[in-house]
């Protein structure tokens, strides 16, 4: 057989296998650069970006769940009346980025039917947002069960998640609302005790960390890290629900009856500093904090959005602590205590000063008038306090002098915070600088005008007089309880300083009793059946607005102590801006309001009655100031 010869020539072979040297060089260089780039990228990922990638991988491989801490409850002083409680509830969230566009409308419609939410608004948010957002909170169990059943039958992702979290409720709605405050959407305190004691009430959240599969489900029997939540502390306030209820009831009646803009009342145990009641009217419903109260509702629709926010902030504030006011003639007990302590005057020395109805400050053309235009005639200090005589106290204030006055003002606590544990208390009252005080300023300060203090400062200073001259820090939280261990921490009375002697304090208290039995404070017992049998001291106050702020109106007030000896309660009632046609004197409207409160509070406190000498009751009602 003949074999076919290979006919390729040497030149043919050289043509097919011959690669130009320049191309080979370029190819080798390209491969080399590619390898260098690859090695560089690997090095970057390993060395430079390694930690981030490892963290990302770990996050994708682990399932972390937050364990919510239960917020502590708030109770009254008895420990049996809950003022704020926490309970578990469900919230429904949705993440639009996990949903295909073609399913969004169906999801919105079904959620609307199950959760009673607006489907059009929900669909708009699903189309506009890429971030997870809250669909509904406080969802009932029946709705949650229905939602889970609907989800279980679907073959596509809904982006829906259900979280169990604690919610807050206030069983007494508006009772003590400005004290309690409320929590925000994250269950954190926003006002009042809820804010000031948030670090104790909120607790610390825990968490569990476990492995998860590609479907984001927990892998059974995998190692799990579990950190238990530390639940919040329970708080027991010094507030007594029964006294608080009495105070709020009569304060509301007075504000409405006398057409006042607002009212404030504080009840305090002078020996311990415990606040037994603290009330603002109008108040608000803690469960519906954004709903305007009855007063605010009258003008709500006329307000701009900014004005509505401002008014809500005002509505929520504990005004007995945050607001300042001119105390008026109630402050005369402070002037009296200073004069007695400094031995400038004796309490019952007759005819110390003769009031003719006006007082001329040296160098001024217009006099400062007494509320009794004919004058009170010759008076002792006891007489002057009972009569609430301004000229007498102007004369006394000038004798005391500005430096001595300010020394005692500071000692009584008017130049600093009282230390009550609710946020919002101003640093100080508003007083003239010492260098600017002349006779006119000193004279008006002596009867409680042309400076401002807070109601909590006033009652704290008055309580020092009712407590043998010892100033104590006002207290509104009595104890806290660790709900995990049961450990109870009780807060003790904090004595601040001895301001005046026991002898001076007893003398001023005795003078205050004369105010009630013979002077301008008669209405605290006058016409209130049974009240004449109790030992009560007091002082009326009526502060008038300065001319430039005359639209602010008058402030009528009354300060009561009972019993006069071994006092169990100091009560301050403030009625702001009584309506047109209403007598604005503290003795006329604030004193009977205090009397109606004490009529119910004193028996509750176990204060005994006794046949009290009511003194000379001949003072005309129109003279009560």
Q: Which domain holds residue 526?
A: 245-281+318-475+493-623
Number of domains in the chain: 1
The two three-digit tokens of residue 481, written as one number:
């309880």
In a domain, 102, yes or no: no
Interval 336-360: pLDDT, tens: 999 999 999 999 999 999 999 999 9
* Mean pLDDT across 522-550: 86
What is the H or E stretch that residue 456 is in? helix 455-466
Q: How far apart are CA 446 and CA 574, in angstroms?
A: 19
What CATH number did the domain enclosing 507 receive? 3.40.710.10
The count of other CB atoms within 10 Å of the CB of residue 625 is 23
Tokens of 281: 């009217």
Alpha helices in 177-238 (DSSP H): 177-180, 192-196, 198-202
Nearest to 455 by CA among 592, 339, 318: 318
> How far is it, in rounded angstroms, from Cα 618 to Cα 529?
18
Locate 15 and state its tokens: 């043509």
Residue 433 in domain = yes
Question: Among residues 398, 400, 374, 396, which one has the least CA distance to residue 385?
Answer: 396
Question: Do the beta carbons of residue 500 and residue 368 sit within 8 Å?
Answer: no
CA separation for the pair 183, 180 (Å, rounded): 10
**pLDDT higher than 80, residue 624:** no
pLDDT band at 208 (very low <50, low <70, confident <90, very high): low
- For residue 513, is it within any domain? yes
Query: Among candidates 562, 555, 551, which has minimal Cα distance to 603?
Result: 562
352 domain-assigned: yes
Place of tokens 């005639």: 377
526: tokens are 């006058």
Torsion angle of C-alpha atoms 560, 562, 564, 566, degrees rounded to 10 = -130
pLDDT for 162 = 86
Q: What is the pLDDT of residue 219?
A: 46
Confidence at residue 207, expressed as pLDDT on a 0 to 100 scale: 63
* 336 in a structural domain: yes
Q: Is residue 511, in this structure, part of any structural domain at all?
A: yes
Classify residue 10: in a domain, yes or no.
no
Q: What is the pLDDT of residue 618?
A: 39
Which candidate, 522, 407, 409, places its Cα nearest to that of 458?
409
In a domain? residue 615: yes
The reported pLDDT for the residue numbered 216 is 46
Distances in Å between the Cα of 66 and the Cα atoms of 63, 69, 99, 219, 229 are 10, 9, 24, 18, 9
* Tokens 């679907």 belong to residue: 154
pLDDT (tens digit per residue) in 213-245: 444 444 444 555 667 778 899 999 999 999 999
Instruction: Give the three-state DSSP class for 380.
Output: coil
For the CA atoms of 110, 115, 116, 122, what is the dihedral angle to 10 degrees?
-60
E strands of 371-505, at which residues? 377-379, 470-472, 477-481, 488-490, 495-498
Mean pLDDT of the chain: 87
Pick the closest to residue 178 from 275, 71, 259, 273 (CA basis).
Answer: 275
Name, in order, each residue with C-beta under 8 angstroms of 420's C-beta and a sequence gap of 6 or more.
Answer: 275, 321, 456, 473, 474, 475, 476
Task: Provide the pLDDT confidence category of residue 156 given band limits of 50, 70 and 90.
Answer: confident
Q: Where are the alpha helices (DSSP H) in 447-549?
A: 455-466, 502-518
- The DSSP bridge partners found for residue 557 are 541, 574
**pTM of this structure:** 0.81
């Amino acid at each position: 057989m003949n074999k076919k010869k290979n006919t390729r020539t040497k030149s043919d072979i050289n043509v097919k296998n011959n690669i130009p040297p320049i191309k080979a060089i370029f190819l080798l260089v390209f491969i080399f650069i590619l390898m260098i780039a690859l090695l560089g990228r690997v090095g970057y990922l390993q060395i430079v970006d390694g930690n981030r990638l490892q963290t990302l991988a770990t996050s994708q491989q682990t399932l972390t769940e937050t364990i919510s801490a239960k917020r502590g409850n708030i109770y009254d002083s008895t420990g049996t009346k809950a003022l704020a409680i926490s309970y578990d509830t469900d919230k429904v969230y949705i993440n639009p980025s996990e949903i295909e566009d073609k399913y969004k409308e169906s999801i919105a419609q079904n959620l609307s039917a199950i959760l009673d939410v607006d489907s059009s608004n929900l669909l708009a948010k699903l189309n506009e947002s890429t971030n997870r957002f809250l669909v509904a909170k406080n969802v009932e169990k029946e709705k949650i069960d229905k939602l889970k059943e609907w989800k279980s039958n679907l073959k596509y992702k809904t982006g829906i998640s259900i979280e169990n979290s604690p919610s807050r409720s206030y069983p007494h709605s508006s009772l003590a609302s400005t004290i309690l405050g409320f929590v925000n959407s994250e269950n954190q305190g926003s006002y009042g005790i809820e804010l000031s004691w948030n670090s104790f009430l909120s607790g610390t959240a825990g968490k569990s960390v476990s492995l998860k599969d590609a479907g984001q489900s927990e892998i059974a029997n995998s190692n799990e890290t579990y950190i238990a939540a530390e639940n919040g502390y329970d708080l027991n306030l010094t507030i007594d629900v029964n006294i608080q209820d009495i105070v709020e009831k009569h304060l509301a009646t007075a504000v409405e009856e006398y057409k006042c803009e607002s009212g404030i009342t504080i009840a305090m145990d002078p020996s311990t500093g415990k606040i037994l009641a603290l009330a603002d009217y109008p108040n608000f419903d803690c469960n519906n904090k954004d709903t305007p109260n009855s007063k605010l509702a009258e003008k709500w629709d006329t307000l701009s959005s900014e004005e509505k926010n401002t008014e809500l902030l005002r509505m929520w504030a504990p005004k007995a602590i945050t607001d300042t006011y001119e105390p008026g003639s109630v402050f005369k007990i402070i002037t009296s205590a200073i004069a007695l302590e400094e031995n400038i005057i004796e309490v019952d020395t007759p005819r110390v000063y003769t009031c003719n109805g006006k007082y001329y400050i040296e160098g001024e053309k217009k006099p400062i008038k007494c509320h009794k235009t004919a004058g009170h005639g010759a008076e002792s200090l006891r007489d002057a306090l009972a009569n609430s005589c301004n000229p007498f106290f102007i004369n006394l204030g000038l004798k005391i002098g500005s430096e001595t006055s300010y020394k005692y003002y500071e000692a009584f606590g008017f130049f600093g915070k009282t230390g009550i544990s609710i946020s919002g208390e101003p640093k100080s009252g508003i007083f003239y600088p010492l260098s600017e005080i002349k006779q006119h300023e000193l004279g008006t300060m002596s009867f409680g005008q042309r400076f401002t203090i807070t109601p909590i400062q006033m009652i704290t200073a008055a309580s020092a007089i009712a407590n043998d001259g010892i100033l104590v820090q006002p207290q509104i939280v009595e104890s806290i309880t660790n709900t995990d261990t049961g450990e109870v921490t009780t807060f003790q009375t904090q004595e601040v300083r001895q301001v005046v002697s026991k002898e001076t304090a007893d003398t001023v208290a005795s003078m205050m009793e004369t105010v009630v039995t013979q002077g301008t404070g008669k209405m605290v017992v006058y016409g209130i059946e049974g009240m004449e049998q109790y030992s009560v001291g007091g002082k009326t106050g009526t502060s008038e607005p300065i001319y430039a702020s005359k639209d602010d109106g008058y402030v009528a007030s009354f300060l009561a102590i009972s019993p006069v000896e071994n006092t169990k309660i100091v009560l301050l009632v403030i009625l702001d801006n009584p309506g047109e046609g209403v007598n604005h004197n503290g003795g006329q409207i604030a004193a009977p309001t205090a009397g109606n409160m004490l009529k119910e509070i004193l028996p509750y406190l176990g204060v005994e009655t006794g046949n009290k000498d009511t003194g000379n009751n001949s003072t005309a009602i129109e003279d009560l100031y």
